[in-house]
Amino acid sequence: MTEQDDLLYKIALTHLPKVGAVLARNLVSFAGGVEAVFSQKKSQLLKIPGIGTTTANDIVNHRSLKKAESELAFITKHSIKPLFYLDQEYPIRLKRIKDAPTLLYYRGNADMNAERVLAVVGTRKPTSYGINQCEKLVDYLRNKKVLVVSGLAYGIDIVSHRKALEVGLPTIGVMGSGLDRIYPAVHRKTAREMIDHGGLLTEFGSGTKPDRENFPMRNRIIAGMCDALIVIESDIKGGSMITAELANTYHKDVFAIPGKIGDQYSRGCNHLIKTNRACLIDGGEDLAEIMQWKELRPIDQVQTKLFVDLSDEEHKVLGIMQQNCPVSIDKMLKESSYTSSELASILLNLEFQGIIKALPGKLYLRI
């Protein structure tokens, strides 16, 4: 089977009626592969929990494969990179979320598995205070090698993207539509710049309009991709608050810039802080200190005592840490072959032996 054929089946999987991310994974697991899903008999498919007659008929009649052909032609023509949830380049932080998208469409050159990823969200109607705080925060991070993620929307989103471009940080816009349409249209120029210095990312195929129901789905990608999420001005309800709640659910570090009591677009941030759903910070310096996002300096090469009772697995993890300390748990997962639970056990043993130290922001330091 060619790569194009394999990709066709992956796209078709996302076009199956009533099949979301969780059920899609179950289908692939049951069948033993993406192509194998479409070779199953109807009787076999109906045994899978969640697969009804409509979906089974679609699979055996290859209706979604026909729909996938036009999408494959579109992404080939426009040099769009598809990222399947089993691909190595798929955002590893996002992959750990139960309902992570089965397939992502990406145009850009940024590493979505960068060591440091910050999501910035906020109101679409920021005050001068919010704009200033956002620009100052991103500017402070210019030498921290941070990937800035947001939603390409009006307000705080576009401010964070533009400031990241200005200071030379890669930035990715997560969209609630297909890559064939930029929403809002007034951000097209910035979006084109982001393709060369970051990227545009969506789970929606071509022809998908920026409908209201798409944005909560877009928000879960923003929350899932990051190490830390910061809210800069928000009313008590809205997309930013939804994204912050999702980030908390995903066990991300959530921060908020406080505002004046009673101000409409400070109510959300103040509420997150008051209810312990976000940590109060007053700028980039606070964020970098808490996350341990410091500029890396050369470390003196000191011969560390080697313990004869260290396992091969522990030596492997120490080898990763020796190359770049402090190091994030995401980087260790990316560079090792271990699962989250296996790595957690190895790190715990090393910490008990006094060889490594846990730091805030899911970072570890070799002592």
pLDDT in tens, 191-236: 999 999 999 999 999 999 999 999 999 999 999 999 999 999 999 9
The CATH number corresponding to 108-291 among 3.30.300.30, 1.10.10.10, 3.40.50.450, 3.40.50.300 equals 3.40.50.450
Q: What is the mean pLDDT of residues 15-31?
A: 88
Nearest residue to 148 (alpha-carbon basis) of 97, 199, 220, 183: 199
Alpha-carbon distance of 239 to 29, in angstroms, equals 33
- The answer on pLDDT for 298 being more than 70 is no
Contact 103, 80 (CB under 8 A): no
Q: Which comes out higher in pLDDT, residue 351 or 52?
A: 52
pLDDT tens digits, one per residue of 35-82:
999 989 999 999 888 888 988 998 988 888 888 999 999 999 999 999
User: Using CB atoms within 10 A of its CB, is residue 98 exposed (0-12), middle (13-18) or buried (19+)?
Assistant: exposed
What is the pLDDT, as a whole number, of residue 364?
A: 82
- Specify the DSSP class assigned to residue 295: P
Distance (Å, whole) CA 9 – CA 5: 7
Q: Rounded to whole angstroms, how far apart are CA atoms 242 and 128?
A: 23
pTM of the model: 0.79
Q: Hey, CA dihedral for 133, 134, 135, 138, is it positive or negative?
A: positive
Q: Judging by beta carbons within 10 Å of its beta carbon (0-12, 13-18, 19+), is residue 217 exposed, middle or buried? A: middle
What would the DSSP string read from start to end of 170-188?
A: -EEEE-SS-TTS-SSGGGH
Instruction: Say how far residue 12 (Cα) sits from the centre of its chain.
Output: 23
Listed residue (305, 322, 300, 307) closest to 366, CA to CA: 322
Domain ranges of the chain: 3-77, 108-291, 312-366
Strand order in the sheet with 327-328: 327-328, 363-366, 356-359
Sequence letter at residue 100: A
Domain spanning 312-366 has what CATH number? 1.10.10.10
Across 77-95, average pLDDT: 93
Between 18 and 119, residue with greater pLDDT: 119
**CATH number of 3-77, picked from 1.10.150.20, 1.20.1730.10, 3.90.1150.10, 3.40.50.720:** 1.10.150.20
